[in-house]
Structure 1
């Protein structure tokens, strides 16, 4: 395990475990949101997004966190492992609510000056509310990665399904100490 794609719903623990996995493997950690979301939450042009992600994937080792279909082919063509977070919806929503509240209350900068705002907690538009987004996408991601894990096109990849915190702990234990 040297080139790892970490995927799953927002709030499932991808970033937390992805960072720890990168440390254990001694490889860089890359959060796709930090590349895609430019100042003012403006999306990066697809051509430039693909170029930047392609540059990341040329390295010998990395952990890349994110679900972007626009670059999945680039990442998975070089990856050896896909870590798929598939926690129960109630767990994801609870974790995401607390994370969003913490970020909103502290004003923590996410990427490129962007911050989450508490007013979006009540927004019903999935494009504006991370909670609505995660609720709407939960089954989509489950179906997407379950299907991909059985797709012969991705047979060279090892899919690791993380369905609990215990699964995440075991994954990190298998990765071992930093090399």
Structure 2
């Protein structure tokens, strides 16, 4: 595992898992959300985002988390391993709600200093909870198709379903 991409639905635990894996492997951790989001929840233009992804993924080793299809053609061919956190809808929805409650109550700054508000998280059409409800099943089917296609030669594909599998995987990773 020299260059690892972590994918999964929103709120599947990609960032937490990727940070832990990068720490165990003593590798650089890169969060695509950090590259994508600008202040006031503005999205970085695709050409700028792709240029940043191209730059950071040119390194010898890394663990990157994120699902941005606009950068998939850059990241996936460079990856040696893709790990899919394929959790149940119930777990992901639970995490979306609890994460939103936590973030709105703590006002913890996120990417580019953005802060989740109660209104944005629970009363907006841009709510992460609504996003999970609208995209979970479609993304799951898309990943299943992408990861079983013959378009990823030489890339180790690992699917982890449920927190027990995630924990067991991390427990078995050899620390560098």
**Bin of the TM-score, shorter chain as denominator length:** over 0.9
Three-state SS of the structure 2 residue aligned to 1:11 is: coil
CA distance in 1, matches of 2:38, 2:124: 23
Query: Who is 1:86 aligned against?
Result: 86
Runs of 4+ in 1 over 6 A off after TM superposition: none
Aligned pairs (5 A) from 1:57-68: 57-68=57-68
CA distance in 1, matches of 2:145, 2:84: 12
Cα offset for 1:124? 5.5
Three-state SS of the structure 1 residue aligned to 2:51 is: helix
TM-score by length of 1: 0.94
Cα offset for 1:122? 3.0
CA distance in 2, matches of 1:73, 1:170: 30
Query: Who is 1:151 aligned against?
Result: 149
Residues 15-54 of structure 1: CA distance to partner in whole angstroms, max 9, x if unpaired?
A: 1111000111111111101110001111111111111101
Of 114-123 and 129-138, the range deviating more from structure 2: 114-123
CA distance in 2, matches of 1:99, 1:171: 23
Query: Who is 1:48 aligned against?
Result: 48
Residues 27, 66 of structure 1: CA spacing in aligned structure 2 closer, same or farther, 3 A cutoff?
same
Cα offset for 1:9? 1.0
Three-state SS of the structure 2 residue aligned to 1:105 is: helix
Query: Who is 1:164 aligned against?
Result: 162
Residues 112-161 of structure 1: CA distance to partner in whole angstroms, max 9, x if unpaired?
A: 11011111333362xx1000101111112211111111111113211111
Residues 80-130 of structure 1: CA distance to partner in whole angstroms, max 9, x if unpaired?
A: 1111111111111111211111110010001111011111333362xx100
TM-score by length of 2: 0.96
Contact map agreement 1:103 1:116 (CA 8 A) in 2: yes
Extract unaligned runs of 5+ from structure 2.
none
Q: Give the number of equivalent residue pairs.
A: 176
Of 100-109 and 143-152, the range deviating more from structure 2: 143-152
